[in-house]
């Protein structure tokens, strides 16, 4: 369905402007200084802290907790940002409940971890509010590197390379930099245009330029980049979307959840954004939860997540599942789509119950119909536009531990590369580590 196309049941203005403003406020409001000091004081400052091991970017969490406790939030922010230059966004969107906070000793002992995510936000926001960039560039090396994609991995790689004295040109296909941080993060997690504010702040390091509208394969070739730059880092993400292979998948009202989320993120007026009355989201990951909750916040009356396996197999954490349920989203598990029914536009979706035997999923033959004037597909994304000549590992670019691809002088990281989870924090770590390997290669 093209954006703006009129479909029965999918309309704008379901809620008033005041209701929408209230619905899309910050999911976790920032901590006040006193709250942060009290929260940081709960840290045991563990030796060989398990929270650090659980953090993909290896942030020294006990150290930044001590710095907050001592009334030095900017120093705490610098401790975080030295390891994770996008620590502000990660504090907002990372599933800390399954990473650092799950590993927290307080969680193990009391079931209530130190609020590491909110404290990280408090510290990194303190640095950004102060204005000055806390890191300096090294002496110029005379080397230039091309980064393809201005998402978390590309930005982290570019920043670290710039710090090391290299010049970096980021080629970004979309009108704005940021990648999923700009286009794919739930609006209630990243408010007040934080994604762009973070990019602007990151760029203060100097030595980085961004060329938007520059698409690999459309006027920009990998061969040309390799010829004109000393190294290339690919962070092209996963632009393709898996198809919903059911009858009626082409009806009006059926669309990709990632497109829906992007529309919400980029909308200048949420009151003009259409949403269905009865929305069904197919999938069980973070994208499914974000799309479902956004639908509810926009005024959909009934929102259902339909997932083919049980809740324990869902990609979204239990915290995110509970978040969806708290907003009135119904979660149906062990159901798979069979047919989208409707006369030109979606009206109902037919689901078949599933069962798993020896790890194999199959339909039981029992079916149910659910009203659905809007069906959002959140069933995974695929690599699209990978240059020829790169070895693949399944559906991703094959890389070694340093991010090196099968082509000399070309590295890759983030969602497009093999290994790691598809998380913002993982992408940052891969971009940072690839930058270090690129630097070592160019200065050997």
Q: 33-130, which class in CATH?
A: mainly alpha
| Tens digit of each residue's pLDDT (9 = 90 or more) over 40-72 | 999 999 989 999 999 999 999 999 999 999 999
CA distance 61 to 436: 22
| Tens digit of each residue's pLDDT (9 = 90 or more) over 315-372 | 999 999 999 999 999 999 999 999 999 999 999 999 999 999 888 999 999 999 999 9
Cα dihedral sign, 415-419-420-421: positive
Mean pLDDT, all residues of the chain: 94
| Tens digit of each residue's pLDDT (9 = 90 or more) over 145-186 | 999 999 999 999 999 999 999 999 999 999 999 999 999 888
- pLDDT level of residue 438 (50, 70, 90 thresholds): very high
- 3-state secondary structure at position 304: strand
Structure tokens at 162: 């710039």
301 Rama class: left (phi>0) / alpha (psi -120 to 50) / beta: alpha
CA distance 188 to 206: 31
DSSP annotation of 85: T
Structure tokens at 39: 């929260």
Q: Does 33-130 match 144-239+383-443 in CATH topology? A: no
CATH superfamily of the domain spanning 241-377: FAD/NAD(P)-binding domain (3.50.50.60)
5, 257 contact by CB (below 8 A): no
Structure tokens at 152: 């978390």
CA distance 221 to 207: 23
Mean pLDDT for 97-104 is 95
Mean pLDDT for 69-82 is 97
226, 232 contact by CB (below 8 A): yes
One DSSP character per residue, 398-435 reads ---TT-B-SSTTEEE-GGGBSSS-S-HHHHHHHHHHHH
pLDDT more than 90, % of the chain: 88
229, 144 contact by CB (below 8 A): yes
pLDDT more than 70, % of the chain: 99
Structure tokens at 428: 């940052």
- pLDDT level of residue 241 (50, 70, 90 thresholds): confident
Burial 268-292 (b: 16+ CB within 10 A, else e): eebbebbbbbbbbbbbbbbbbbbbb
> H-helix or E-strand containing 350?
strand 348-357
pLDDT of residue 234: 98
pLDDT of residue 419: 83
- 3-state secondary structure at position 375: strand
- pLDDT level of residue 6 (50, 70, 90 thresholds): low
Q: Where are the alpha helices (DSSP H) in 239-351?
A: 257-266, 286-297, 318-326
Residue 422 has pLDDT above 70, yes or no: yes
Write down the domain spans for the chain.
Answer: 33-130, 144-239+383-443, 241-377
Q: What are phi and psi of 244, to 5 degrees?
A: -90, 105
Tell me the helices (H) and strands (E) count for the chain, helix number first. Answer: 17, 19
Which residue(s) pair with 251 in the sheet? none
pLDDT of residue 358: 86
Q: What is the pTM of this model?
A: 0.94
pLDDT of residue 4: 44
| Tens digit of each residue's pLDDT (9 = 90 or more) over 368-404 | 999 999 999 999 999 988 898 999 998 899 999 999 9
User: Parallel, antiparallel, or unpaired for β 330-332 and 335-341?
Assistant: unpaired
- pLDDT level of residue 2 (50, 70, 90 thresholds): very low
User: 3.50.50.60, 3.10.20.340, 3.30.1360.170, 3.40.50.1260: which CATH number matches 144-239+383-443?
Assistant: 3.50.50.60
Query: Please, what is the angle between helix 194-202 and helix 152-163, to 10°?
Result: 20
Structure tokens at 412: 């890759």
Q: Where are the alpha helices (DSSP H) in 24-135?
A: 33-40, 50-54, 61-69, 73-83, 87-93, 100-103, 105-110, 116-130
Distances (CA, A) of 163 to 85, 107, 195, 202: 11, 37, 21, 11
| Tens digit of each residue's pLDDT (9 = 90 or more) over 188-206 | 888 889 999 999 999 999 9
| Tens digit of each residue's pLDDT (9 = 90 or more) over 287-325 | 999 999 999 999 999 999 999 999 999 999 999 999 999
pLDDT of residue 3: 44
CA distance 276 to 199: 33
Q: What are phi and psi of 196, to 5 degrees?
A: -75, -35
Structure tokens at 372: 């659905």
């Amino acid at each position: 369905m093209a954006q703006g196309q009129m479909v029965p049941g999918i309309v704008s203005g379901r809620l008033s402007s005041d209701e929408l403003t209230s619905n899309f406020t910050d999911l976790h409001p920032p901590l006040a200084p006193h709250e942060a000091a009290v929260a940081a004081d709960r840290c045991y400052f563990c030796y060989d802290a398990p929270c650090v091991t659980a953090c993909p970017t290896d942030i020294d969490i006990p150290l930044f907790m001590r710095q907050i406790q001592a009334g030095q939030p900017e120093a705490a922010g610098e401790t975080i940002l030295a390891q994770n230059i996008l620590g502000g966004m990660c504090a907002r969107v990372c599933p800390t409940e399954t990473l650092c906070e799950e590993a927290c000793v307080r969680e193990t002992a009391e079931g209530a971890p130190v609020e590491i995510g909110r404290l990280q936000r408090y510290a990194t926001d303190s640095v950004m509010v102060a204005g000055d960039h806390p890191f300096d560039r090294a002496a110029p090396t005379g080397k230039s590197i091309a980064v393809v994609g201005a998402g978390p991995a590309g930005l982290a790689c570019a920043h670290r390379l710039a710090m090391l004295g290299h010049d970096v040109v980021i080629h970004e296909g979309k009108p704005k930099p940021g990648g999923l941080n700009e286009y794919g993060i739930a609006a209630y997690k990243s408010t007040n245009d934080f994604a762009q504010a973070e990019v602007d702040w990151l760029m203060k390091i100097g030595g980085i330029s961004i060329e938007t509208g520059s698409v690999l394969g459309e006027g920009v070739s990998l061969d040309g980049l390799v010829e004109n730059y000393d190294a290339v880092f690919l962070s092209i993400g996963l632009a393709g979307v898996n198809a919903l292979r059911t009858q009626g998948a082409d009806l009006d009202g059926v669309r990709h959840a990632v497109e829906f989320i992007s529309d919400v993120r980029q909308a200048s007026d949420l009151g003009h954004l259409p949403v269905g009355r009865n929305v069904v989201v197919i999938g069980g990951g973070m994208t499914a939860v974000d799309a479902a909750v956004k639908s509810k916040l926009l005024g959909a009356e009934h929102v259902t997540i339909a997932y083919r396996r049980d809740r324990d197999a869902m990609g979204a954490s239990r915290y995110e599942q509970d978040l969806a349920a708290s907003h009135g989203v119904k979660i149906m598990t062990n159901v798979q789509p069979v047919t989208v029914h409707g006369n030109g536009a979606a009206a109902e979706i037919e689901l078949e119950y599933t069962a798993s035997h020896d790890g194999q999923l199959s339909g039981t033959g029992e079916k149910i119909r659910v009203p659905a004037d809007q069906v959002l597909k959140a069933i995974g994304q695929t690599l699209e536009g990978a240059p020829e000549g790169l070895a693949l590992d399944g559906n991703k670019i094959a890389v070694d531990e340093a991010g090196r691809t099968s082509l000399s002088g070309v590295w890759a990281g983030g969602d497009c590369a093999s290994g790691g989870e598809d998380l913002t924090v993982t992408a940052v770590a891969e971009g940072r580590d690839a930058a270090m390997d690129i630097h070592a290669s160019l200065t050997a």
